[in-house]
C-alpha cells in the first residue's frame, strides 16, 4: 500500500512538472536551458518524490491503525486502500477526509496546472506560421499528453467517481475497481514505454518497416 501510494502520488506531481517543462520548451525555447537547468529540475524531481512519500506515510499510517473485523479477506488484487477500508469496524471519516484533501492536492492541482500549461502551449503553437513547425511543436507534447490522459483517467475513475449503495451495484463497482487497478498498474506502465519510445526516430522507422513488411506478406 505504501509503495503504491508513494509512486502514484509522485507520478501525478511529476506529470504536472513535465507540463511545465513542455510549456517552457515551446513558449520560451530560448530561455529553456536557463529555466530548466540542473539547479531547477533536480529540486523539482526531489520535491515530487518527497510529496508522494509524505502522502503515502499519512494515508498508510492512518489505515493500519484501524481495527479490522470479519475474515479480513481483501476483495482486490493488491492492498488497495479503498478495499482495505471496507474491512474496518471503526469510523473512517478521518481517512476519507484525508483522502479528499490528497485528491485535491495530487489530482486537482496538477490537472489544473497541466490544463493551463496546455492552454498557453496550444496558443503558442497556433501562432507558428508553418504547418511543419506546428506539427513539430505539437509532437513534443503528444507523448506527455497521452500519458496524462491514461494516468489521470484511470486514477480519477478509481478515486473520483461516486460509490454505489445497493449490493448489486457494489459488486459491479468492485469488479470495475479491480479492472481499473489492473489497467493502471499493468497496462498503463507498458503503454508509457511504447508512447515515449515512439518519439525516437529510429523506433518510428522500425515500426514503419515492421508494418510495411507485414502488409507485403499479407
* 186-212 pLDDT tens trace: 777 777 677 666 666 666 666 667 666
Provide the pLDDT confidence category of residue 165 given band limits of 50, 70 and 90: very low
Query: By residue range, what is the domain housing residue 83?
Result: 2-217
Residue bearing the bigger pLDDT, 85 or 166: 85
Of 147, 8, 14, give the one whose Cα is nearest residue 82.
8
Domain count, the chain: 1
Distance CA 60, CA 5 (A): 8
pTM beyond 0.85: the answer is no
Longest CA span, the chain: 66
Of 47-51, 66-70, 188-192, the range with the lowest mean pLDDT is 188-192
How far is the first Cα of the chain from the last one, in angstroms, to the nearest whole number? 48
CATH number at residue 206: 1.20.1070.10
Distance CA 149, CA 2 (A): 24
Amino acid at each position: 500500500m505504501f509503495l503504491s501510494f508513494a509512486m502514484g502520488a509522485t507520478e501525478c506531481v511529476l506529470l504536472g512538472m513535465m507540463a511545465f517543462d513542455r510549456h517552457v520548451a515551446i513558449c520560451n525555447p530560448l530561455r529553456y536551458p536557463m529555466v530548466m537547468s540542473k539547479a531547477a529540475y533536480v529540486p523539482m524531481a526531489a520535491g515530487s518524490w518527497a510529496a508522494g512519500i509524505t502522502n503515502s506515510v499519512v494515508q498508510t499510517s492512518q489505515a493500519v491503525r484501524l481495527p479490522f473485523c470479519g475474515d479480513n479477506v481483501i476483495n482486490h488484487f493488491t492492498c488497495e486502500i479503498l478495499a482495505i477500508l471496507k474491512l474496518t469496524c471503526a469510523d473512517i471519516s478521518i481517512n476519507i477526509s484525508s483522502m479528499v484533501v490528497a485528491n485535491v492536492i495530487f489530482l486537482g492541482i496538477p490537472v489544473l496546472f497541466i490544463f493551463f500549461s496546455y492552454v498557453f502551449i496550444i496558443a503558442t503553437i497556433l501562432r507558428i506560421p508553418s504547418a511543419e513547425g506546428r506539427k513539430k511543436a505539437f509532437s513534443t507534447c503528444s507523448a506527455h499528453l497521452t500519458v496524462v490522459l491514461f494516468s489521470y483517467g484511470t486514477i480519477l475513475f478509481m478515486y473520483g467517481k461516486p460509490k454505489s449503495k445497493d449490493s448489486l451495484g457494489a459488486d459491479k463497482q468492485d469488479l470495475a475497481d479491480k479492472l481499473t487497478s489492473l489497467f493502471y498498474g499493468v497496462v498503463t506502465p507498458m503503454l508509457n514505454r511504447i508512447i515515449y519510445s515512439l518519439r525516437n526516430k529510429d523506433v518510428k522507422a522500425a515500426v514503419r518497416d515492421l508494418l510495411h513488411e507485414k502488409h507485403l506478406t499479407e
